[in-house]
Amino acid sequence: MITTDNMRFNKLQHWWLIPLGVIFFFTCGLLLFFPTKLLQQQLAVELTTKLNHPIELTGLSLQFPASMFIQKLTSPTELGNVKFTNINLSPVWSRLLSTAPAAKISAEIFGGNIEAQFDTKHRVKLFATALHGALPVPQLPTLHMQATIAQLNASATAEPIIKLEKLHLELSELLISGLKQMGFPIDRLDFGTVNLHLSQNQQRISIDQLISHGGDLIISGGGNVALQRNLRHSRINLKLTLAPRKGLDPSITTLLPMFAKQRQDGSYNVRITGTLAQPRLR
């Protein structure tokens, strides 16, 4: 026989479902009826204002339990439109109750993946893999440089100004093409895989390590970049050692003494100065 106390206890057992149901239906309602079009327009305006550069967003939606999805972000540049696709913004759940809660944003760009994490203490971490790109060589538009960012791992603080803590970069398949248009018998120069380590002290970025392997020229060196308010005017001071591989086309090796000093071991020293916008070989 079921007593009155047992019936009350059975009812109490299910009371915990009430707040859970309220949260569930509230979340569903928010996802279904939230004005995402208005949010998309406002976000595009805010990004355009903050970055001082036109931004276009398409396909914004909210997803369960607490993430935002953007199908495409487009920004025009001098070299054409830059497109981020499948952008996802969400909390870092493992840090939700920590002293510095964080969020992460991931996206696809240049055929690869990029992810950034940022927390309430203004620390930023950036990761990227398999990004493919090609750019004209500064001051030599007939030449093009292409490479794959195989791995990128960087951390920085964003307050009061952006300060780089460290950056490790691995470039693969780095090469320069278009040499035949300048009269060379070969059309491309292969630099193989390049590893780069950077750090920052005040307004100076130190190139702690720069080394390559597997290419036509083996490169090693280091230096620094003195940052300016306009990054294009930042000054470069970079010293490199170039070692041609055996069998490299003589048309290339005979050019090296024109801008580099030959050492006794057959390698060459070269110094790069000037600015990021107008680098000079010395």
| 238 lies in some domain | yes
Interval 99-128 mean pLDDT: 91
Supply 28's token pair: 């569903």
Q: How far apart are CA 144 and CA 277, in angstroms?
A: 16
Cis peptide before 101 (omega within 30 of 0): no
268 and 141 within one domain:
yes
Predicted confidence band of residue 125 (pLDDT cuts 50, 70, 90): very high
pLDDT of the residue at 139: 67
Predicted confidence band of residue 25 (pLDDT cuts 50, 70, 90): very low
Q: Are 257 and 215 in contact (CB under 8 A)?
A: no
| 57 lies in some domain | no
pLDDT at 35 over 70: no
Structural domain including 19 reads 1-33
| 247 lies in some domain | yes
102 and 18 within one domain:
no
Q: Which residues of 8-34 are buried (b: 16+ CB within 10 A; e: fewer)?
A: eeeeeeeeeeeeeeeeeeeeeeeeeee
Count how many residues are written for the chain: 282
CB atoms within 10 A of CB 229: 7
158 and 29 within one domain:
no
Task: Classify residue 64 as exposed, middle or buried by CB count within 10 Å of its CB (0-12, 13-18, 19+).
Answer: exposed
Q: Which residue has the higher pLDDT, 39 or 165?
A: 165
pLDDT of the residue at 79: 66
274 and 149 within one domain:
yes
| 182 lies in some domain | yes
145 and 20 within one domain:
no
100 and 14 within one domain:
no
pLDDT of the residue at 111: 92
| 70 lies in some domain | no
**Number of domains making up the chain:** 2
| 41 lies in some domain | no
Interval 143-168 mean pLDDT: 88
261 and 138 within one domain:
yes
Gyration radius from the chain CA atoms: 27
| 43 lies in some domain | no
Predicted confidence band of residue 17 (pLDDT cuts 50, 70, 90): very low
Predicted confidence band of residue 6 (pLDDT cuts 50, 70, 90): low
| 179 lies in some domain | yes
The whole-chain average pLDDT of the chain stands at 82
* Per-residue pLDDT tens over the stretch 249-261: 887 888 788 778 8
pLDDT at 148 over 80: yes
Q: Are 109 and 87 in contact (CB under 8 A)?
A: no
Cis peptide before 160 (omega within 30 of 0): yes
